[in-house]
Amino acid sequence: MKFIKYLFLLLLIVIIGASIYIATLDGNYDIKSTKTIKAPVEVVYTNVNDYKNWKEWGPWYEIDSTIIASYPEITSGVGASYTWTRKEGNGSMKTISLIPNKEIIQQINFGTGSSPEVYWEFNKTDDGTDVTWGMRGENSFSEKAYFLAQGGVEKNMKPMFDRGLELLEQYILKEMDKHSFDFKGVVDYGGGYYLYQTTSCKMDEIDTKMGKMLTTLINYVAENNIESSGKPFMLFHKWDVVNNATMFSVCSPIKERIITTGDVLTGFLKPQKTFKTIFKGNYKFSDEAWLKAYKAIEEQELKAVENGESFEVYTVNPHDTENPAEWVTEIYIPIE
């Protein structure tokens, strides 16, 4: 009996001692991971800001198949939230503050007695966006005991953040590459006046030349209080594949003829019958869009005008959104 009493007393001393040790541990923590994601800051921020996207890259879905997420009406912005159920318990998260394209602060509840703060930081870089994902707070007694047995908070949480940022980048890059082609067929294009700049260059210089010329036109329109009648477009005059050369004009449509000075001129696009294709996606798929447009013309037994000046209108362009998956280009090919 004495042995049992001594054993019980020893266990009691160990329990009391362990409790005192755990209680005196610093429960404050701030665990975070940072990764450079090769995507515009606007795209990364917008994705993280909407909880409905989290199911596509949340690392916890890889290790727990019992998680079921539920969403209210508002899932992005301040006041947004979502909840989840799983075999080991329920939880919830809500957004409490944000600075667009800079920071998101959220509060998470695991049902363990504490509500740590989850935070995101977004910083634009030359290579894309530096994304920091972290969590800070103070563990309750039971949480300190749990994480002590598991080797600490950082050992449990940091690998999760690392994996989550990796999956986030994979998902965003995949989404940014989405593109589609919609062949509208024969349409009568009304034409009209436009301001323009013209250049000749090698084909691999098109993007650089176009960007500078478009900026010049946009600034010219703004500085001279000219009212634009539509989205900018590119008019192709020559396309010489053999010599890798092209001549084109970057244009801004206007309502009436304007007498200009300097290197910005006024032109007129005559009304004509065209074959219209709507291309949605990154400009790196532009060649594919044009090839498929000409193929569609052939399949519909139509004939493109020989040496006709085709053009493309940038209905939604990088000046409207940084997400290339949302860019919309209307391709017009003159037909007989």
CATH 3.20.80.10 residue window(s) in the chain: 180-334
Examine the pLDDT at 252 and tell me if it is beyond 80.
Answer: yes
Residue 24 CB neighbour total at 10 angstroms: 9
pLDDT (tens digit per residue) in 41-61: 999 999 999 999 999 999 999
Instruction: Please tell me the predicted confidence (pLDDT) of residue 210.
Output: 87
C-alpha dihedral (100, 128, 327, 197), degrees to nearest 10: 110
Where does the pLDDT of residue 295 fall: very low under 50, low under 70, confident under 90, or very high at 90 and above?
A: very high
Note the pLDDT of residue 104. Answer: 98
pLDDT given for residue 155 in this prediction:
57
Exposed e or buried b per residue across 107-139, where buried means at least 16 C-beta atoms within 10 angstroms of its C-beta: beeeeeeeebebbbbbeeeeebbbbbbbbebeb
List residues bridging with 314 in a β-sheet. Answer: 329
Q: Could you report the per-residue pLDDT of 178-212, keeping only the tens digit for each?
A: 999 999 999 999 989 999 999 999 988 888 888 88
Percent of the chain clearing pLDDT 90 (strictly above):
59
E-assigned strand segments in 254-323: 265-269, 272-280, 311-316
Pick the CATH number of 18-176 from 3.30.530.20, 3.40.50.1110, 3.40.50.300, 3.30.750.200: 3.30.530.20
The matching CATH number, chosen from 3.40.50.2020, 3.40.50.720, 3.40.5.90, 3.20.80.10, for 180-334 is: 3.20.80.10
Instruction: Give me the mean pLDDT over the 72-99 stretch.
Output: 92
Count of CA atoms in the C-beta half-sphere (13 A) of 189: 26
Task: Please name every residue paired with 196 in a beta bridge, in sequence order, or none if there are none.
Answer: 251, 265
What pLDDT sits at residue 204? 85
User: Structure tokens of 152?
Assistant: 């600490």
Task: Give the pTM.
Answer: 0.81
Domain with CATH 3.30.530.20 in the chain: 18-176
Q: Is the model's pLDDT at 296 over the cut of 70?
A: yes
